[in-house]
Chain A
Amino acid sequence: TQLLEQSPQFLSIQEGENLTVYCNSSSVFSSLQWYRQEPGEGPVLLVTVVTGGEVKKLKRLTFQFGDARKDSSLHITAAQPGDTGLYLCAGAGGGGADGLTFGKGTHLIIQP
């Protein structure tokens, strides 16, 4: 069974600060995805990383996939109240029809 450890579980910071969320596993994933979920809604895909060492940027969000494809990080620069939400990492196995293994999520609150 593949497991994803996501940390921190809860994070509350002031507007303008930077933060990093980590997603770690002992298993190798063919790809890893980051989602953001608002209360009462389904997760929305932010990014997919596939290649070991890959870095992708989405405005103030920077996503990195570890060289061994076992871990990933999400870094937010100059956080804004609109960044508040639940961030989920999810790993996909080698098979195309595999369901995703989700981390427990990071509840992020950005205070104005």
Chain B
Amino acid sequence: GAVVSQHPSWVICKSGTSVKIECRSLDFQATTMFWYRQFPKQSLMLMATSNEGSKATYEQGVEKDKFLINHASLTLSTLTVTSAHPEDSSFYICSANSYWAGSYNEQFFGPGTRLTVL
């Protein structure tokens, strides 16, 4: 249980184009999903918190107009990188909370999406 998928696994795009990344919780409902970014040899940095049916909460320094997040259902959140530039090239990882009796904010991560902007 508690499986999170991401699509696509990797994407290469031209500078100036937009890219959409999907994050799905496959066997549970996730009220809250999180988006992280990871640069090579570095740790994960939280970008935003996505709540179903409401606006996402962005971390300081993350441009909300550049990284559009939509959480349309309890099993799907999408991250759209608008007008992508080479410096946006990174590994984007989503996670979802899975709550049940006795659990403590355990997050389950997707496999990540490798974005390369040429």
Q: Which residues of A contact B (CB under 8 A)?
A: 6, 30-31, 33, 35, 40-45, 48, 50, 88, 90, 92, 96-105, 107
Number of B residues contacting the other chain (C-beta, 8 Å)?
30
- What is the predominant secondary structure among interface residues of chain B facing chain A? strand
- Number of A-B residue pairs with CB-CB distance less than 8 Å in the complex they form: 71
Q: Which residues of B contact A (CB under 8 A)?
A: 4, 6, 31-32, 34, 36, 41-46, 49, 51, 59, 91, 93, 95, 97, 99, 104-112, 114
| Across-interface contacts of B36 in A (CB, < 8 A) | 99, 102
Are B104 and A88 in contact, with the CB atoms below 8 A? no
* A50–B104 alpha-carbon span in the complex (Å): 8
Are B46 and A99 in contact, with the CB atoms below 8 A? yes
**Set A42, A104, A107: member contacting B111, Cβ < 8 A:** A42
Please give me the residue from chain A that is nearest to B94 by CB atom: A42
**Set B44, B46, B59, B106: member contacting A88, Cβ < 8 A:** B44
